[in-house]
Amino acid sequence: MAILIDPPAWPAHGTLWSHLVSDTATDELHAFAKRLRIPRRSFDLDHYDVPASLHDQAVAIGARPVTAKDVVHALRDSGLRVRQAERPIVTPLRRRQYLTTEWQSLGELLGATSVTRTTSATASDAWLSLGENTLARWSEPHRSYHDERHLEDVLLALDHLATRGERVSPESLLAAWFHDAVYLGRSTDETASAQLAVASLEVFPLDPSLVSRVGEFIVATAPDKEARDPSPALAHLLDADLSIFAAPRHRYEEYAGAVRAEYAHVADPEFAEGRSLILSRYLERPAIYRTATARQLWEERARRNVADEIARLRANDHRPARRRGGA
């Protein structure tokens, strides 16, 4: 049983990268990456991408330096290798595994799996059932953007903030799980999601004030309800919810396309007007993100992505300027 790392030789994002793998199990790999303070979003189905700056530290805490060929052979021999052709099938399976594991871990952290206020099921079964029902909501067929991938992105963003020293609270994590649990494209979605969260969590032995804060946080994710001076816990959730703005270009374009698909019933000119108006409001802020850590990680790229989308939307909106968002 060993953790292996190859030399930093793969160029991307202005640096060189190594591959970190396990020759036995991904659980062992995740635990090692956590010790190295590598965010979970750096996991790419069968390996972690590690920047050159962390290569020596990885070796110092126990990774065995090997060649790139050795890494490939270890993955192949252990049965952990995911080939390129397998990625479309494996990716959603790994996403569901990650979400299920995170939900179970959150329940254990909160003590929610020890006892419930109902006698219909064991606490562990009740918590698992709630997680399954919540994931079923995120998997509803009418969702294009507000789906399991968005939930994964928000949780990965919270994890990224945590690896940079932010103290991410349980209420931030719980609110992330429920913040779009109800999604019908209506202005009442956040309120309905908050009500669902509170009702679902009340049967567990959780601090009532925590459950109440979860509901408040969810309501605050509505674009017109964001608090001007949020608590650190709420700021973490708001920043994670908007972390998609800072995605790599190809992912941002997928996101923009998925949002458009959810509003397929709206004509192109009206969508361009409404979407560009909403996005412009984020650029008008002194900063898109509330925490210094998120600003350091995401602000510059987020502003570039959002500005580029606004330009594309306006380029495709051929109505007279007087009709566009008051311009």
* HEC profile of the chain: CCEEECCCCEEECCEEEEEEEECCCHHHHHHHHHHCCCCHHHECCCCEEEEHHHHHHHHHCCCEECCHHHHHHHHHHHCCCCCHHHHHHHHHHHHHHHHHHHHHHHHHHHCCCCCCCCCCCCHHHHHHHHHHHHHHHHCCCCCCCCCHHHHHHHHHHHHHHHHCCCCCCHHHHHHHHHCCCCCCCCCCHHHHHHHHHHHHHCCCCCCHHHHHHHHHHHHHCCCCCCCCCCCHHHHHHHHHHCHHHHCCHHHHHHHHHHHHHHCCCCCHHHHHHHHHHHHHHHHHCCCCCCCHHHHHHHHHHHHHHHHHHHHHHHHCCCCCHHHCCCC
pLDDT (tens digit per residue) in 102-138: 999 999 999 987 765 555 568 889 999 999 999 999 9
pLDDT value at position 115?
60
Mean pLDDT of 210-224: 94
- Quick one: what percent of the chain has pLDDT higher than 90? 87
pLDDT value at position 223?
82
pLDDT at 181 over 70: yes
Which superfamily does 91-315 belong to?
3'5'-cyclic nucleotide phosphodiesterase, catalytic domain (1.10.1300.10)
pLDDT (tens digit per residue) in 223-278: 877 777 899 999 999 999 999 999 999 999 999 999 999 999 999 999 999 999 99
